[in-house]
Structure 1
Amino acid sequence: MQEQAPIVLWFRRDLRLSDHPALTAAAESGRPVIPLFIHDDIVDQMGAAPKWRLGLGLEAFKASLANMGSRLIFRRGDALEQVQRVMAETGATSVFWSRAYDPASIERDKKIKSVLATEGVTAKSFSGHLLFEPWTVATKSGHPFRVFTPMWRAVQGREVQLPDAPITALKAPVSWPASDGLSDCRLGGAMNRGARVVRPHVQPGERAALDHLEEFLDRIVQYSDLRDRLDQDGTSNLSEYLSLGEIGPRTVWHMIQRAALTGTRGTDAFLRQLVWREFAYHLMFHTPQLVTSNWKPEWDSFPWNTDPDHPEVTAWRQARTGIPVVDAGLRQMYVTGRMHNRARMIVASYLTKHLMTHWKIGMEWFEDCLVDWDPACNAMGWQWVAGSGPDASPFFRIFNPQTQAEKFDPDGVFVRHWIAEGHAEPGNTALSYFDAAPRSWGLRPDANYPKPIVELSEGRTRALRAYESRKPH
């Protein structure tokens, strides 16, 4: 009977049918498989945009499972309680899932494994979200890496397992457990009218992810030259798919490696960025304070502004700082749900240095607004720019938005694309910002563009003075 008892396959940030070790193991067991998604506290605490995007991904994944005769069961509530209920309703004796690495998920999963073990239930976690499990990568002295370049060198030639083949069939249980409706989860509730604006810019699902990868491979030769250009489509556009697991990192790695074997330019630069994502997870796993407090504790005494409603922060949040490239980056995020990586650095530097505002305020705002939000990458990105994270030259790197715009948007195409004020006939993308912005902000495209809330030279001087005068913690 044990050999025929169903397996509950708990899906989280792994919404795909290929390159999926947990799914492969469940399918190859020959036992009935019950795909399950749980809207628990960790899901509920996600920001508006990533939670809405998760809902779109789940809808696409539900359809993929239905196409091969399976189902995705939805449950709301405590994760342990819902797993236990589904197992009791179906006679399942095992539960599989793909590992998560953020502190809250690790604590939840350990508790569930421990309780289920006392009940005689097999609870097994699998890799799949990363190329390398964080505990398998270490310095020569056996310690976790704290600097990226040595980690890149350590894994650059390391073998990455080939991705699992797509699963095309799952054995169904004798009877399916009850399921909540996906709409009952209200994953998009907090997006309000922004959902209508962002939706045309989002293509959810595994098929769309693979199509994006194929399209990127056609232009990867330009990646090294264009990836920082704000006015060019030089990046992979894979971040949201990797974040939700609609594509596996091993799939991406090996597709890029195959291109590298043919001598295609740009592959090494992109693989380096893929390992940068691994580095973020490596840090979050080994130093979980990365997502909640200064990675370097000596920064605890730095005089950050911690008031999220400070007028300067409000102007930044509303993309009305008077610094065009900063405002353009934020408006791109409100309209598309994403922001160019170079713009993210400029926007974050301006908040944390010119405005002297704590990185957590910016990190939490991005968490609310980005459809490609990733707990590790978001936290590390903000701490790296702010100076409190793993950066060899922390605070002296103060991005000058003006010179950054001159270098990466030399003809002002990016800024014009997103800033409507001051233009007689602004484009649809620039106007869409005013559709996405909350009505309570009272913004209009025919208003005057604001003067800088802080002059760049003044902000830089203020930041450096604070850095130089701060006392050790």
Structure 2
Amino acid sequence: MSNKPLILWFRRDLRLSDHPMLQAAVATGRPLVPVFVLDGQTQAMGAAARFRLGLGLAQFGGALAAAGSRLLLRRGEALQVLQGLVAELGAAGVYWQRMYEPEARARDAAVKAALRAEGLEAESFAGALLVEPWQVATGQGGAYKVYTPFWRAVSARGIEAPLAAVRALPAPAVWPESDRLEDWGLGADMRRGAGVVARSQRVGEAAALARLEAFIAQDVGDYRALRDVPAEPATSGLSENLAWGEIGPRTIWAAGQRALFEGAAGAEQFCKELVWREFAYHLMYHNPEILTQSWRPEWQDFGWRGDNGDAERWRRGMTGEPFVDAAMREVYVTGRMHNRARMVVASYLTKHLMTHWRVGQAWFAEVLTDWDPAANAMGWQWVAGCGPDAAPYFRVFNPAGQAEKFDADGRYRRRWIAEGQARPGPEALAFFQACPRAWGLEAGQDYPAPVVNLAEGRARALAAYAAYKEKDASDDGDL
């Protein structure tokens, strides 16, 4: 058995350090065959996510080559591809790192059952989270629904130190055939925006580790004070790398804890933001419906609009609200959006424009290179007011007020909005290079009038909320 290869099924875990699955595989002493499978679930991802995945796979393939290995690429449904590879290689089995969204769990369970039924090894490993979703529970043994006690529970645990990087992978005697990455066309749907967005990506494990080191050395001290100011380079930028597993969460946690021990003022808040991601996965694992429906059942029939013309102006960054439009254009140029801006644009869509949070959730899934299914769903539901531990619906972010508070000098808005500037900067102009030609947008055009008066939009949202609550109370009284 020691000469039979193991297949290593990589997904959103494109790294060599702090990788329990990889460490366990190397410890067997067997030849190892890394593979990435382009299956239906992967192909269903949004355009920006598939584009960024392609960049990550190219970089990871190079890292594996430096470790004496390769990344094998195959297209097809996962079980059939893996079974075919097992037969082709005479492999002993398949190892992989766990995923937690319901479709992935169902797929992985089917793969594990089928392989084990054939007498093969089929093992899944931790590595995507600090704590597995079933390892932390309330005093009553249930799942957490509120962040603060979840944070206390996770931070009180002894988080294991990150594992060392694997430096070499034993190779098989003969490598199977592989697809060519360029033939997959993972970035095709980005069209002309691909070249623009690519300039803002820092791809691969080495880039992620360098990014973390620089943040801890230079910026973590001011993180709490400046993290909500979108014009400041005050955040780590690691969401992109974390989303694709180019860095492990334990590596980030360990760096944050060291900074906290050394007295960095913003280190605890930085660690809290990492655990906020954990909270999203905890919720998704225990309540997978959070991805598709309002988490609070009393919100299921709230009168949000479906997709509409106002939402299309929102998608295009043409609402006439500069802070909202700046954020929506930022994502077209960089593939990411500052977190404060995400809250503002989400509130504007769901409250000022009375549009369903799932419209926004779907758009973020299409355009974010740091797309994360759990964080995306929880974030939208938190802002909309229908999620766990959510901001109340009557909390309506005023884009003008948010701009006054967090972009007082207008740098963020000027950075991304070209209209009205005599000499707009390259990033503001890049939006017009990246957005679809069909939109017919040009930098020299007039800036649009607002879709809705902010005061009127807020009043409409609050009136709808009050009417819904009154109806809900009346319905309860009829029971």
Helix, strand or coil at the partner of 1:232: coil
| Structure-2 residue corresponding to 1:165 | 164
Which string of whole-angstrom CA distances, capped at 9 and with x for unpartnered residues, describes residues 154-195 of structure 1?
Answer: 111211111111101111112111111111221111110000
Of stretches 138-147 and 183-192 in structure 1, the one that deviates more from structure 2 is 183-192
Shift of residue 67, structure 1, vs aligned partner = 1.0
Instruction: Report matched runs for 1:137-216 at 5 Å.
Output: 137-216=136-215
Shift of residue 451, structure 1, vs aligned partner = 0.9
Alignment partners' CA distance in 2, 1:336 and 1:200: 8
Shift of residue 394, structure 1, vs aligned partner = 2.1
Alignment partners' CA distance in 1, 2:183 and 2:86: 22
| Structure-2 residue corresponding to 1:107 | 106
Which string of whole-angstrom CA distances, capped at 9 and with x for unpartnered residues, describes residues 285-308 of structure 1?
Answer: 0000011111112111101111x2
Where in structure 2 are there 5+ consecutive unaligned residues?
none
Does 2:299 align with 1:299?
yes
Alignment partners' CA distance in 2, 1:225 and 1:261: 19
Instruction: Report matched runs for 1:55-70 at 5 Å.
Output: 55-70=54-69
| Structure-2 residue corresponding to 1:49 | 48
Instruction: Report matched runs for 1:354-369 at 5 Å.
Output: 354-369=352-367
Question: Aligned letter for 2:366?
Answer: D
Alignment partners' CA distance in 1, 2:183 and 2:107: 23
Q: Percent identity?
A: 55
Instruction: Report matched runs for 1:345-360 at 5 Å.
Output: 345-360=343-358
Which string of whole-angstrom CA distances, capped at 9 and with x for unpartnered residues, describes residues 266-301 of structure 1?
Answer: 110100000000000000000000111111121111
Instruction: Report matched runs for 1:250-269 at 5 Å.
Output: 250-269=250-269
2:93–2:115 Cα contact (<8 Å) kept = no
- TM-score, normalization by structure 1: 0.98
| Structure-1 residue corresponding to 2:27 | 28
Which string of whole-angstrom CA distances, capped at 9 and with x for unpartnered residues, describes residues 324-375 of structure 1?
Answer: 0000000000000000000000000000000000001101100010000001
Instruction: Report matched runs for 1:240-389 at 5 Å.
Output: 240-306=240-306, 308=307, 310-389=308-387
Shift of residue 385, structure 1, vs aligned partner = 0.5
Question: Aligned letter for 1:231?
Answer: A
Shift of residue 28, structure 1, vs aligned partner = 1.1
| Structure-2 residue corresponding to 1:95 | 94
Alignment partners' CA distance in 1, 2:112 and 2:239: 30
Alignment partners' CA distance in 1, 2:458 and 2:360: 18
Alignment partners' CA distance in 2, 1:45 and 1:311: 25
Alignment partners' CA distance in 2, 1:213 and 1:170: 26
Does 2:413 align with 1:454?
no
Shift of residue 230, structure 1, vs aligned partner = 1.4
Where in structure 1 are there 5+ consecutive unaligned residues?
none
Instruction: Report matched runs for 1:212-231 at 5 Å.
Output: 212-218=211-217, 219-231=219-231
Question: Aligned letter for 2:200?
Answer: H
Helix, strand or coil at the partner of 2:7: strand
| Structure-2 residue corresponding to 1:415 | 413
| Structure-1 residue corresponding to 2:70 | 71
Shift of residue 3, structure 1, vs aligned partner = 2.2
Alignment partners' CA distance in 1, 2:66 and 2:390: 50
| Structure-2 residue corresponding to 1:84 | 83
| Structure-2 residue corresponding to 1:399 | 397
Give the 3 Å change call, closer, same or farther, for CA 6–364 of structure 1 in structure 2.
same
Shift of residue 153, structure 1, vs aligned partner = 1.1
Alignment partners' CA distance in 2, 1:263 and 1:441: 50
Give the 3 Å change call, closer, same or farther, for CA 166–393 of structure 1 in structure 2.
closer
* Matched residue count: 470
| Structure-1 residue corresponding to 2:36 | 37
Which string of whole-angstrom CA distances, capped at 9 and with x for unpartnered residues, describes residues 52-96 of structure 1?
Answer: 000000000000011121010000011000000111000101100
Shift of residue 392, structure 1, vs aligned partner = 4.8
Question: Aligned letter for 2:176?
Answer: P
Shift of residue 393, structure 1, vs aligned partner = 4.3
Question: Aligned letter for 1:89?
Answer: E
Q: Which runs of 4+ in 1 moved over 4 A?
A: none
Alignment partners' CA distance in 2, 1:298 and 1:227: 33
Helix, strand or coil at the partner of 1:74: strand
Alignment partners' CA distance in 2, 1:264 and 1:416: 32
Alignment partners' CA distance in 1, 2:25 and 2:177: 21
Alignment partners' CA distance in 2, 1:314 and 1:250: 39
Which string of whole-angstrom CA distances, capped at 9 and with x for unpartnered residues, describes residues 98-127 of structure 1?
Answer: 000001100100111111111111100000
Instruction: Report matched runs for 1:7-18 at 5 Å.
Output: 7-18=6-17
Alignment partners' CA distance in 1, 2:181 and 2:206: 21
Helix, strand or coil at the partner of 2:423: coil
Helix, strand or coil at the partner of 1:146: coil
Which string of whole-angstrom CA distances, capped at 9 and with x for unpartnered residues, describes residues 179-224 of structure 1?
Answer: 1111122111111000011111112100000000011002110001
Alignment partners' CA distance in 2, 1:122 and 1:393: 46
2:211–2:236 Cα contact (<8 Å) kept = yes
Which string of whole-angstrom CA distances, capped at 9 and with x for unpartnered residues, describes residues 133-168 of structure 1?
Answer: 000011011010000001011111211111111101
Alignment partners' CA distance in 1, 2:270 and 2:360: 26
Alignment partners' CA distance in 1, 2:204 and 2:153: 33
| Structure-2 residue corresponding to 1:430 | 428
2:461 pairs, out of 460, 463, 473, with 463
- TM-score, normalization by structure 2: 0.97
Question: Aligned letter for 1:193?
Answer: R
| Structure-1 residue corresponding to 2:5 | 6
Instruction: Report matched runs for 1:126-145 at 5 Å.
Output: 126-145=125-144
